[in-house]
């Protein structure tokens, strides 16, 4: 028999969230703050989960990069990682690798969406805006659409 939602512990709620996908500590704090009954209990629960290896910034970075890098540029991936409250140190290596493959990824996204070079300036501007909105660097966008 399942416990009513109000009877599930903070640690149980955190584990349920972590079973669905990787979450950063900041995300878990944000999602579970409303369920904290006594001050400090959420921090203790998350400290324990972090000590046991259930919460890992490196896994969160790897997960986001794996899911989003094929569709987005390094700037947009960085924005998503920052929104998860990750430290700059944990993001730096992954972002450096993404910037190294930015041209190839932008070209793949462009070819899936458009397939052929623009015939007029308006179409080229549309293609450029699309790639820029996906977080690809302006220099890379110029090379891909040029």
Q: Give average pLDDT by consecutive 10-residue segment, the chain, 146 residues.
A: 66 94 95 91 94 94 94 95 91 91 96 92 96 96 93
Q: Are residues 69 and 125 in the same domain?
A: yes
Q: Are residues 70 and 101 in the same domain?
A: yes
Distance, CA of 114 to CA of 144 (rounded, Å): 11
Specify if 4 maps to a domain: no
Q: Are residues 70 and 138 in the same domain?
A: yes
Question: By C-alpha distance, which of 104, 101, 91 is closest to 63?
Answer: 91
Q: Are residues 40 and 62 in the same domain?
A: no
Q: Are residues 69 and 114 in the same domain?
A: yes
Q: Are residues 44 and 89 in the same domain?
A: no
Q: Are residues 64 and 46 in the same domain?
A: no
Contact 44, 58 (CB under 8 A): no
Q: Are residues 47 and 70 in the same domain?
A: no
Distance, CA of 104 to CA of 8 (rounded, Å): 46
Look at residue 53 in the predicted model and tell me its pLDDT. 94
E strand or H helix that includes residue 81: helix 74-83
Look at residue 43 in the predicted model and tell me its pLDDT. 93
Phi and psi for 53 in degrees, rounded to 5? 85, 10
Look at residue 2 in the predicted model and tell me its pLDDT. 55
Angle between helices 74-83 and 57-68 (to 10 degrees): 140
Phi and psi for 89 in degrees, rounded to 5? -65, -40
Domain ranges, residue 16: 9-51
Look at residue 109 in the predicted model and tell me its pLDDT. 96
Distance, CA of 25 to CA of 33 (rounded, Å): 12
Q: Are residues 67 and 135 in the same domain?
A: yes
């Amino acid at each position: 028999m399942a416990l009513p939602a109000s009877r599930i512990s903070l640690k149980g709620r955190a584990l349920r969230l972590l079973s669905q996908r990787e979450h950063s500590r900041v995300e878990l704090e944000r999602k579970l703050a409303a369920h904290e009954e006594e001050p400090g209990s959420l921090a203790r629960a998350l400290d324990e989960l972090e000590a046991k290896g259930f919460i890992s910034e490196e896994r969160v970075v790897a997960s986001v990069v794996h899911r989003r890098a094929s569709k987005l540029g390094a700037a947009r991936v960085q924005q998503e990682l920052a929104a998860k409250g990750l430290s700059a140190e944990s993001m730096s290596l992954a972002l450096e690798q993404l910037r190294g493959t930015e041209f190839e990824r932008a070209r793949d996204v462009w070819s899936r969406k458009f397939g052929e070079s623009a015939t007029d300036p308006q179409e080229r501007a549309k293609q450029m805006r699309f790639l820029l909105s996906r977080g690809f660097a302006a220099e890379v966008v110029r090379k891909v659409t040029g």
